[in-house]
Amino acid sequence: MKKKRVVKRPKSRREFLKYAASGMAGMLIVTLMPKPSWAQRIHQIEEMKHVPDWMDHYYAYVVDTTKCIGCGACVRACKRENNTPDGYFRTWVERYQITDTGHVYIDSPNGGHESFPPKDVEGNVLKGFFVPKLCNHCRNTPCTQVCPVNASYETPQGVVLVDKEICIGCGYCVQACPYDTRYIDPRTHTADKCTWCYHRITKGLAPACVTVCPTKARIFGDLKEKKSEVREIIESQRVMVLKPELNTEPYCFYIGLDRAVR
Amino acid sequence: MSKYSHVVSVFILVGLAFLGFEIFQALLKPDSFGQYGNFRGDHLVEASSLSVLHRGDDYCLDCHDAEWDMADAKHANVPCESCHFLPGAHAILADKAPPADKAKAAGSKYVKVAIMPIDRTAQPCLNCHIFLPSRPVKFPQIKDRAKHIKDGWKKTMGEVDIKSTCDRCHNSHFPKAFVKGVT
């Protein structure tokens, strides 16, 4: 005997609306579920141990924008240390000037390499500040996800690197990065980006930009170390990340971010 | 021909495809792939073996701590290599140079190693200290350079050229103290 197939489907508009409402309520509950705080995440990181000892670090970076004076020492140091081509920057400094006429002036002449020349603005500057930018070394990384050849990856220490031997220079990652931190190196035609000076941090040194910062606006450290400065700041101070709405989970934190910063 | 020959041929085809894939992968996959994760493990070694250029103050103080104490200085946080030079060649040559006691015997206090050129123009100072509205208010800044030099002139009671560099009046290490030698 052939059995008639029973397909359950809403019979009336009333029933359809009921299903739709319950579905939406379910989705809302999922979105409202609490995310782990940064302090909780640090504890989770501490428990992770599946790597050899020399790799047993988990790095984070803090930028204190209230201390930055825009001298450009970090940009110059990065250029020297990593030998980046002219006009391309692994880290750069942006100048923000907000005037009483309501304008927001944002500029970064040559990445802040030669510091900043005074700029004529309309009206008086109400507030101004410098914001150093660099690769945010996200955990939910848009750039590594789009790489078609798996040349870009996250190391177990939380650093995002590019393997130049494998990179084909397609530039997808350059487009995918919401922070504009990647570029195609015109000499090798491969993607390049900030590595938090991987050759330095694996030797126990701080990245070049952190080493030369005269006001200690850039801070770098290991989250697995209980007394590290970054951990203390993230646990006790009011920190923010860039573009949190994109859910990229950056490990580069900012103190004193303004609404105008993009 | 058994009645299962079509099944056998399917198995053989799938087996060949699998074998082909394995051979391709073995040929194309880098040796160290998957050593630490989903990437070429050797790249970690390559990336960490680049040469270090910036060394930080501790590196300089290994040899120079006895002659210099910057602990209380206003510029204590400014690393040596910002104004002096990258220590790379200097330090490598210092290791090869005759030891300090030999230099002493030759009548010199220092071992002469690679030259460390210092940019003595005003630019390195102005990078940090020219007035910009974006700088923190409490940070010492010069609004008008000509006026600054003129005011400084009165204080030092000496001849100060308008084109003078900052180190004519300021000690770069202890910038609070005016005029070299006068504290």
Two tokens, residue A177: 């990065």
Element (H, E) at A209: helix A208-212
H or E, element range at A59: strand A59-64
User: Given CB atoms, is B136 within the 8 Å cutoff of chain A?
Assistant: yes
Domains of chain A: 53-255 (3.30.70.20)
Q: How would you classify the pairing of strands A59-64 and A252-255?
A: parallel
B23 and B63 share one domain: no
Choosing from B115, B137, B159, the residue where a domain stops is B115
What is residue B3's predicted lDDT score, i.e. its pLDDT?
A: 85
Q: Which DSSP state fits B142? A: B
DSSP structure string for B95-112: HHSPPHHHHHHTT-SS--
By Cβ distance, the residue of B48, B127, B134 closest to A97 is B134
B175 token code pair: 């910038």
Taking only Cα atoms into account, the Rg of chain A, rounded to an integer number of angstroms, comes to 23
Domain around B9: 5-48
Q: How many Å apart are CA A242 and CA A158, to the nearest integer?
A: 17
CA distance linking residue A151 with residue A172, whole number of Å: 12
Which pairing describes strands A190-192 and A183-185: parallel, antiparallel, or unpaired?
antiparallel
Instruction: Decide: A254 and A240 in contact? Cβ < 8 Å.
Output: yes
A64 DSSP β-pair partners: A255
Whether residue A156 and residue B36 make contact (CB cut-off 8 A), yes or no, is yes
Q: Are residues A128 and B127, on separate chains, in Cβ contact within 8 Å?
A: no
CA B30, chain centre distance (Å): 33
Amino acid identity of residue A9, one-letter, is R
Q: B134 and A96: CB-CB below 8 Å?
A: yes
A38-47 and A229-236 helices cross at what angle (nearest 10)?
140
Say whether both B69 and B104 belong to one domain.
Answer: yes
Structure tokens at A145: 């996800």
CA distance B12 to chain A (A): 30
Residues B146 and B106 in one domain: no
* Amino acid identity, position A238: R
User: Could you tell me if A195 lies within 8 Å of chain B, comparing CB atoms?
Assistant: yes
Mutation target for B interface from A66, A124, A168, A212: give the one with most B CBs within 10 A.
A212
| Model confidence band, residue B81 (pLDDT cutoffs 50, 70, 90) | confident
Q: Are residues B59 and B110 in the same domain?
A: yes
Query: Nearest CA of chain A to the CA of B74: how many Å?
Result: 10
Tell me, what's the ipTM? Answer: 0.78
**Which residues on A lie below 8 Å from B50 (Cβ)?**
198-199
- The pLDDT value given to residue B116: 77
With 80 as the cut, is the pLDDT of residue B67 above it? no
Q: Which residue of A has its CA nearest to B41?
A: A155
pLDDT at B181: 45
* Residue B163 pLDDT > 70: no
Rounded CA-CA distance A180/A131 in Å is 14
C-alpha angle A196/A200/A201, rounded to 5°? 65
Whether the per-residue pLDDT at B43 is higher than 60: the answer is yes
Measured distance CA(A75)–CA(B127) in Å, rounded: 12
B173 and B124 fall within a common domain:
yes
Give the pair of three-digit tokens for residue A167: 């990179």
Instruction: Give the integer Cα–Cα distance in Å for A52 and A55.
Output: 6
Strands A218-222 and A59-64, by their bridges, are antiparallel
- With CA atoms as reference, the chain B residue closest to A106 would be B134
Residue type, B55: R
Q: What pLDDT, on the 0 to 100 scale, is given for residue B182?
A: 44
Per this entry, what is the length of chain A?
Answer: 262
Q: Of B39, B52, B134, which has the smallest distance from its Cβ to A153's Cβ? A: B39
Same domain, B32 and B58: no
The shortest C-alpha distance from A70 to chain B (Å) reads 7
Residue of B nearest to A55 (CA): B36
pLDDT in tens, B122-141: 888 889 999 999 999 888 88
- The alpha carbon of residue A178 is apart from the nearest alpha carbon of chain B, in Å, by 23
Beta bridge partners of A253: A62
User: Measured between CA atoms, how close is A257 to chain B, in angstroms?
Assistant: 14
Q: Would you say A231 and A45 are in contact if contact means Cβ atoms under 8 Å apart?
A: no
Q: pLDDT tens digits for chain A (262 residues)?
A: 566 666 666 578 888 899 999 999 999 888 777 777 777 777 777 766 666 677 788 999 999 999 999 999 999 999 999 999 999 999 999 999 999 998 999 999 999 999 999 888 888 899 999 999 999 999 999 999 999 998 999 998 899 999 999 999 999 999 999 999 999 999 999 999 999 999 999 988 999 999 999 999 999 999 988 889 999 999 999 999 999 999 899 999 999 999 888 7
Q: Is 90 exceeded by the pLDDT of residue B9?
A: yes
Six token digits for residue A259? 């609404």
Q: Do B171 and B134 lie in a common domain?
A: yes
Number of domains in chain B: 3
**Using a CB-CB distance cutoff of 8 angstroms, which residues of chain A are in contact with residue B40?**
163, 165-166
